[in-house]
């Protein structure tokens, strides 16, 4: 039976390249000359630490981060921007966790979306991936097509397609 997996993995090297590109662009921008800017990626915990002089500059860093990441092939949904920036002395800091893997509640939402669509496929949640199997490969391609319109806040990739 044909099957494929939904996953949400972030390639660490691509993420690191995107962060380095952001650092390079920020240091060459005129409006950031002589200001305090720190962009640091914790590769072990998949967390991004941002520091700037003001909230406006921090939001500009985030804009550059999102645009450079999408140019590197990373989805904007990998960054968890729900945490608010906070003042720490003279600088504004923000922790941006990078979503790596599908959480259990997100996996349940995805399975529910597949079941509600009425497609003739079976789903199984296996740790941080979702396996989708069907009798025909056309059914699986319908699921993949439908997944592009879902707005669940998770960057989904289809991997491990087997016939």
Domain with residue 44: its CATH number is 3.30.70.990
What percentage of the chain reaches a pLDDT higher than 90? 55
Cα(77)–Cα(98) distance, rounded to whole angstroms? 9
Answer whether residue 1 shows pLDDT above 90: no
Q: What is the pLDDT confidence band of residue 127, given thresholds at 50, 70 and 90?
A: confident
HSE-up (13 A, CA, CB side) for residue 126: 11
Domain span holding position 64:
12-97
Answer whether residue 24 shows pLDDT above 90: yes
Mean pLDDT throughout 115-132? 89
> H/E element holding 109?
helix 104-116
Cα 126–chain centre separation: 20
Last residue of a domain, one of 61, 76, 97: 97
Q: What is the pLDDT of residue 130?
A: 92
Same domain flag for 87 and 117: no
**Torsion angles phi and psi, residue 100, rounded to 5:** -130, 110
Closest CA to 65 of 12, 32, 19: 19
Q: What is the pLDDT of residue 91?
A: 93
Total domain count, the chain: 2
Q: Encode 58-84: b = buried (16+ Cβ within 10 Å), e = exposed.
A: bebbbebbbebbeebebbeebbeeeee
Of residues 127 and 133, which shows the higher confidence score? 133
Last residue of a domain, one of 97, 130, 148: 97
**pLDDT tens digits, one per residue of 57-104:** 999 999 999 999 999 999 889 999 998 999 988 999 999 999 988 989
Mean pLDDT throughout 45-52? 94
DSSP-derived secondary structure letter, 103: -
| pTM of the shown model | 0.82
Mean pLDDT of the chain: 91
Whole-angstrom CA distances from 106 to 4, 74, 75, 101, 152 are 18, 19, 17, 10, 8
Q: What is the pLDDT of residue 28?
A: 92
Those residues with Cβ within 8 angstroms of residue 63's Cβ, 6 or more apart along the chain or in another chain:
none
Same domain flag for 22 and 74: yes
Cα(91)–Cα(73) distance, rounded to whole angstroms? 31
Q: For residue 123, give the CATH number of its domain.
A: 3.30.70.860
Cα(112)–Cα(105) distance, rounded to whole angstroms? 11
Cα(141)–Cα(43) distance, rounded to whole angstroms? 34
Same domain flag for 16 and 34: yes
Q: What is the pLDDT of residue 37?
A: 93
Q: What is the pLDDT of residue 101?
A: 87
Q: Pairing mode, if any, of strands 91-97 and 86-88?
A: antiparallel
């Amino acid at each position: 039976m044909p099957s494929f997996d939904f996953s949400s993995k972030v390639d660490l090297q691509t993420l690191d390249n995107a962060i380095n590109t952001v650092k390079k662009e920020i240091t060459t921008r005129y409006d950031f000359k002589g200001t305090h800017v720190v962009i640091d990626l914790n590769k072990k915990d998949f967390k991004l630490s941002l520091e700037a002089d003001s909230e406006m500059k921090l939001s500009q860093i985030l804009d550059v981060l999102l645009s450079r990441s999408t140019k590197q092939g990373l989805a904007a949904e990998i960054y968890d921007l729900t945490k608010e920036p906070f003042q720490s002395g003279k600088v504004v800091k923000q922790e941006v966790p990078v979503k790596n893997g599908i959480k259990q509640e997100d996996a349940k939402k995805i399975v529910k979306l597949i079941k509600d669509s009425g497609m003739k496929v079976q789903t199984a949640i296996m740790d941080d991936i979702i396996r989708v199997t069907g009798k025909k490969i056309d059914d699986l391609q319908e699921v993949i097509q439908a997944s592009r319109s879902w707005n669940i806040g998770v960057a989904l990739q289809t991997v491990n397609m087997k016939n």
